[in-house]
C-alpha cells in the first residue's frame, strides 16, 4: 500500500485465496484460525450428516446417514477437487444446516478408512505433525475421531501492477506520475494559463513593438509622443495588431 500511495499501480485488492482445510473455532483459547495442509485431502474423506441439525457425535452416525458430498457431486475428483470448489461446498453445507460442531461451521475430514487400509504407522509418517497440531488445538485425536475443518481466508492476491517492459509500471513510472501530479497542483488552470499567454504574445507582437519605438523616437512637441495637449483628452493610435483568436 505504501508503494501505491507513492504512485505505483495497485490492482485487484479484492481477490483473496480461500483455504478449505482450516481448523474452525473451538473455544476462547483459540486466538486465530489455523490452516492445515491441503495434503490431508489425499486420504481424508469429507462428509456431513444427511439430516439437518444432527448433533450426534460422528462415531454414532451410521455410514448410510453420512453424505460424502464431494464424492457424490464430483465423482471424477472426489475429495481432491480444487480448493475453491471444496470451500464453496463446505459453506453450502453449513448454510443448509448440516454443518457440524458446536458452531455448525465445520465439516468432517475422516481418516478412518485410510487408517484401516494403510495402517496407523503410514498415516503417522505422512501426517503425524498435522495430527499432533490438530490434537493440541482441539484436544481431539484425529486417529480416533474425524477432524473438523472449514474454509478461511488464506491471503490476498492483489498487488503492484507489473508490465512486460523494464520499469513499465515500476519506480520510474511512479516517479513520472508523481511529478506530473505535483506539477498539476502548482500550475494554474488551463484557461488561466491561456489568458496569460495571450497577453504576453500581444506585448511581444512586432507591429506593437514598432509603434512603441516610433512614439519614443518622435521629436519634442510631436503630439504622438504624449497625445494631444490642451484638449483635455488623450488619444491613442488605433491598434493595428491582428485580433486574437477567439476562444
Q: pLDDT per residue over 138-184, tens digit each?
A: 899 999 999 999 998 877 777 777 666 655 555 566 666 666 666 66
pLDDT at 55: 92
Which of 4-13, 51-60, 123-132, 190-199 is predicted least confidently? 190-199
Distance CA 162, CA 149 (A): 36
**Is it the case that residue 65 has pLDDT exceeding 90?**
yes
Task: Decide which of 143 and 28 is more confident.
Answer: 143
**Is it the case that residue 187 has pLDDT exceeding 70?**
no
pLDDT at 232: 45
**Is it the case that residue 207 has pLDDT exceeding 60?**
no
Q: Looking at residues 15-38, what average pLDDT do you find?
A: 81
Residues 6+ apart with CB under 8 A from 143: 111, 115, 120, 123, 131
SS3 166: coil
pLDDT at 202: 53
**Is it the case that residue 1 has pLDDT exceeding 70?**
no
Give 237-246 pLDDT, tens digit per residue. 555 544 444 4
pLDDT at 225: 44
Task: Decide which of 3 and 86 is more confident.
Answer: 86
**Is it the case that residue 51 has pLDDT exceeding 90?**
yes
Residues above pLDDT 70, as percent of the chain: 63
Q: Looking at residues 38-67, what average pLDDT do you find?
A: 95
pLDDT at 14: 78
Residue 51 burial (CB count, 10 A): 12
Distance CA 129, CA 40 (A): 11
- Concatenate the DSSP letters of all residues of 167-189 into one string: TSSSHHHHHHHHHHHHHHHHSPP
Q: Looking at residues 202-217, what average pLDDT do you find?
A: 52
**Is it the case that residue 229 has pLDDT exceeding 60?**
no
Distance CA 50, CA 57 (A): 14
**Is it the case that residue 231 has pLDDT exceeding 50?**
no
Distance CA 120, CA 141 (A): 13
Give the model's confidence band at 59: pLDDT under 50 very low, under 70 low, under 90 confident, else very high.
very high
This prediction's pTM = 0.61
Strand order of the sheet with strand 16-23? 34-35, 16-23, 147-156, 107-110, 45-49, 66-67
Indicate which residues carry an active-site annotation: 83
**Is it the case that residue 228 has pLDDT exceeding 50?**
no
Task: Decide which of 158 and 43 is more confident.
Answer: 43
Amino acid at each position: 500500500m505504501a508503494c501505491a500511495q507513492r504512485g505505483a499501480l495497485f490492482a485487484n485488492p479484492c481477490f483473496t485465496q480461500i483455504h478449505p482445510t482450516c481448523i474452525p473455532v473451538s473455544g476462547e483459547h483459540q486466538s486465530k484460525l489455523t490452516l492445515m495442509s491441503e495434503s490431508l485431502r489425499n486420504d481424508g474423506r469429507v462428509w456431513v450428516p444427511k439430516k439437518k441439525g444432527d448433533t450426534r457425535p460422528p462415531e454414532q452416525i451410521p455410514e448410510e446417514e453420512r453424505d460424502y458430498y464431494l464424492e457424490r457431486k464430483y465423482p471424477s475428483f472426489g475429495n481432491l477437487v480444487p480448493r475453491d470448489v471444496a470451500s464453496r461446498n463446505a459453506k453450502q453445507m453449513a448454510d443448509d444446516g448440516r454443518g457440524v460442531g458446536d458452531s455448525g461451521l465445520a465439516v468432517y475430514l475422516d481418516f478412518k478408512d485410510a487408517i484401516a487400509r494403510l495402517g496407523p504407522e503410514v498415516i503417522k509418517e505422512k501426517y503425524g505433525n498435522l495430527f499432533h497440531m490438530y490434537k493440541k488445538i482441539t484436544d481431539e485425536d484425529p486417529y480416533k475421531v474425524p477432524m473438523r475443518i472449514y474454509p478461511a481466508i488464506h491471503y490476498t492476491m492483489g498487488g503492484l501492477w507489473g508490465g512486460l517492459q523494464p520499469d513499465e509500471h515500476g519506480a520510474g513510472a511512479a516517479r513520472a506520475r508523481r511529478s506530473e501530479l505535483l506539477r498539476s497542483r502548482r500550475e494554474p488552470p488551463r484557461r488561466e494559463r491561456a489568458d496569460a499567454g495571450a497577453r504576453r504574445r500581444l506585448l511581444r507582437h512586432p507591429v506593437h513593438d514598432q509603434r512603441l519605438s516610433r512614439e519614443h523616437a518622435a521629436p519634442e512637441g510631436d503630439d504622438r509622443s504624449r497625445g494631444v495637449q490642451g484638449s483635455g483628452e488623450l488619444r491613442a493610435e488605433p491598434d493595428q495588431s491582428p485580433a486574437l483568436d477567439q476562444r
